[in-house]
Amino acid sequence: MTDVDGFCPMGCGKTLFLGSAGHVTCSWCECPNPGAAADILSIPETEHIVQLGESTFTVQHPLRERLNGDLWGCRLHQHLGRSSGPPAIPGRYRVYVDGDARPTTWVAVPT
- Residue in 62, 48, 102, 111 with CA at minimum distance from that of residue 80: 102
For 59-99, write each residue's pLDDT tens digit: 999 998 888 888 888 888 988 999 888 888 999 999 998 77
Between the alpha carbon of residue 48 and those of residues 7, 55, 58, 86, 89, the distances in Å are: 24, 19, 10, 16, 17
The model's confidence at residue 105, banded by pLDDT at 50, 70 and 90, is confident
Backbone angles phi, psi at 8, to 5 degrees: -65, 130
pTM as predicted: 0.81
For 28-71, write each residue's pLDDT tens digit: 999 999 999 999 999 999 999 999 998 899 999 999 888 888 88
